[in-house]
Amino acid sequence: MTRKRRTKKRYLSARFLWLILVLACLAFFITFFAMPMFPRFWSFIVLAVLLIILYLTYQLSFRFDRNKFVKGIDVVLSAAMLIASVLLPVYKNKVSDLFSTFQGGGARINLYVMSENYRKKHSDDFPDSKVSTDLNDYKDAVYLTCAAMDGMNDNYALGQLHDEFDKQVTIKDQESVMDAVKALYGNTADVLILSNSYESMIMEDERFESFKKDVTVLSYYVRPAENNIALSTAKITEEPFVVFFGGNDEEGDLYLEGKTDVDMVLAVNPNTHQIAMVSLPRDSYVFNPALSGYDKLTHLGMHGIQNTLDGLGRYLGCTIENYVLLNFRTYRNIIDAIGGVDVYNEYEFVALDDEYFPEGEIHLEGEYALMFVRERYALPDGDFGRNYHQQQVMRAIIEKVTSPSVILHFDTLLESLKGTFLTNITSDSLYAFCRKQLEENIHWNIVNYHVLGDVDMNEVATAPGQLLSIVYPYTTHVDFVSDVIQKVLNGEEVEQEEMPEGDYDDEFFQTFFGYNPNAEPANEEPVYEEPQTYSQEPQTNTEEPTTQDNTVQEPAQENGQTGEGDTSGQD
């Protein structure tokens, strides 16, 4: 009878698993230490915690080498350390990708043709109602351009058309955007080449308020962003800086060239922990550097974000080098990702979509928040009230994002921000700012103001010959917020104050209304007495020409109003 040889059972020793845990802890510490967003002293805290874990598990693993529970602890801890070592760089790369400077192009350039529906309704102007959607059918078409306003985009689109058709296309250049639109409606040309950023401006004219319905976008090109838009060099953890937040009141892709329906400036001092938040009406009548004339603030962006930074910086008396461009989809996504925000609504109102907003403390999430920041028609002060709501929500977002609770929403926040904003602030600057916030647990002192003004109609540089609604910002308000911005940048302490009474200075009246309301009245004696003497002389002499020379009077009577106009001019 043969004896069965006993085989030794092999098992994983707790001591061996502990060695794996040591390697996993080392990998995690090296990864954590390399993360730029964490304060350095956090690394030493992590190291201390890891050493305690290793000491305790060492005692257990070497004393209870075969204990399954001890082995389980070693395995779970090793897995957690290795997973964390992988996830930290993944999240860092996600953040870096979010802050790639030129996520979008410089501009979207559309090729517009009149739609079939419009052609059918206006068959007198458009005998042929059919519209081809094949670009190749437009090789011999006449293309409308507006080089004076949109020359860079026109040239880019014409270059693309030349490459596609292998020939130069026929163009008909117009003096203004509105002239080009009128020519398209009048069927004096076939295709309009124009940046889509002009669409809302076109629809402000009641003649073309249905522009988007009347036309068909045959094709479009995305012009790459210009290389002269520099990355921010601001040391946002060491020096005060100013950042412009521009919001587009539309869904869809963002471009560095386009209107800004939200115009907000943040002056930030990382040393005194102060932020001044200033909103201006989008229709503010300001100088447009690109066109050397006065324009709506929202229109400055049609010539690129740098034009907005230059124009607004000149207006507020500060240098603005940093920007963040977003649309209202960004608001919605961020608010959803952080679990909503709480704001105080000063008066109840019903939005256009029949959504009710009660007076008092309200919680905003998703679409509800989007309605709150977009509504203006139901507010007592219209656009000015909307600016205030946008500031409220922005302030609530800042306070929540800079609080420790954001860690719970970090993953969803990153996903929600993907592709929803453009900025020249680098991810390295953001990491440094984040590290400072975590190190010092900063509680920011935020003051916020929104500039008011008088609404009027006037021509603007981007639409010559067309009267558009504009806002003359009160110079007392502009001077006040400019002073607050300078105080924050200079490190002076600021507190929330009442805005001064809205009014204009003498220079403003002289520039825009042609007179000075505060000027000293002129001396009455020479001005008013002398004309009275002269006014009697013509009465005595009037009869003489009538009696002596009737032939001279006859042409004056024949010309009627012209003669009287000349005489009154002399008076």
Bridge partners of 192?
112, 144
Report the C-alpha gap between 212 and 204 in whole angstroms: 12
* Cα Rg, the chain, nearest whole Å: 34
- What token pair was written down for 285? 């009548």
**C-alpha 102: how far from its chain's center?**
15
Q: Which residues of the chain have pLDDT under 50?
A: 1, 101-102, 524-571
Pairing label, strands 356-357, 322-327: unpaired
Q: Which amino acid is at 533?
A: T
Q: What pLDDT was estimated at residue 560?
A: 37
Through-space distance between the first and last CA atoms of the chain, rounded to whole angstroms:
145
Q: Express each pLDDT in 115-168 by its tens digit.
A: 999 999 999 889 888 899 899 999 999 999 999 999 999 999 999 999 999 999
The Cα–Cα gap between 335 and 401 comes to 10
Q: Rounded to 5 degrees, what angle do the CA atoms 81, 82, 88 make? A: 85
> Which pLDDT does position 556 carry in this prediction?
39
Q: Give the DSSP letter string of 62-128.
A: HHSTT-HHHHHHHHHHHHHHHHHHHHHHHHHHHHHHHT-TTSS-SEEEEEEEE-HHHHHHTTTT-S-
What span, in angstroms and rounded, lies between the C-alpha atoms of 137 and 560? 58
Q: CA 379, CA 182: separation in Å to the nearest integer? A: 34
Structure token digits, residue 535: 């006014």
Alpha carbon 431 to its chain centroid, in Å, reads 23
Q: Angle at CA 318, nearest 5°, toward 150 and 481? A: 105
Q: Nearest to residue 469, comparing CAs of 303, 264, 282? A: 282
Report d(CA 277, CA 515) in Å as an integer: 33
pLDDT of residue 220: 95
Q: How far apart are CA 295 and CA 286, in angstroms?
A: 6
Q: Can you state the angle between helices 550-559 and 524-548, rounded to 10 degrees?
A: 110
Q: Strand, coil or helix: what is 533?
A: helix
Using left for φ > 0, alpha for ψ between -120 and 50, and beta otherwise, residue 237 falls in alpha
Residue 406 CB coordination number (10 Å): 16
- H helices of 377-450, in order, are 382-401, 410-417, 427-440
pLDDT score recorded for residue 160: 96
Q: Cα–Cα–Cα angle for 204, 208, 209, nearest 5°?
A: 55
Is the alpha carbon torsion for 170, 174, 176, 182 positive or negative? negative
Domains in the chain, CATH or no CATH each: 14-98 (no CATH), 107-223 (3.40.190.10), 241-338+368-513 (3.40.630.190)
The one-letter amino acid code at 459 reads E
Tell me the whole-structure pTM to 2 decimals. 0.75
Tens of pLDDT, residue by residue over 536-555, are: 343 434 444 444 444 433 33
Query: How far, in whole angstroms, is CA 174 from its chain's centroid?
Result: 29
Nearest C-alpha neighbor of 502 from the set 472, 545, 538, 459: 472
Q: Rounded CA gap, 296 and 473, in Å?
A: 11
- Phi, psi (rounded to 5 degrees) for 217: -85, 105
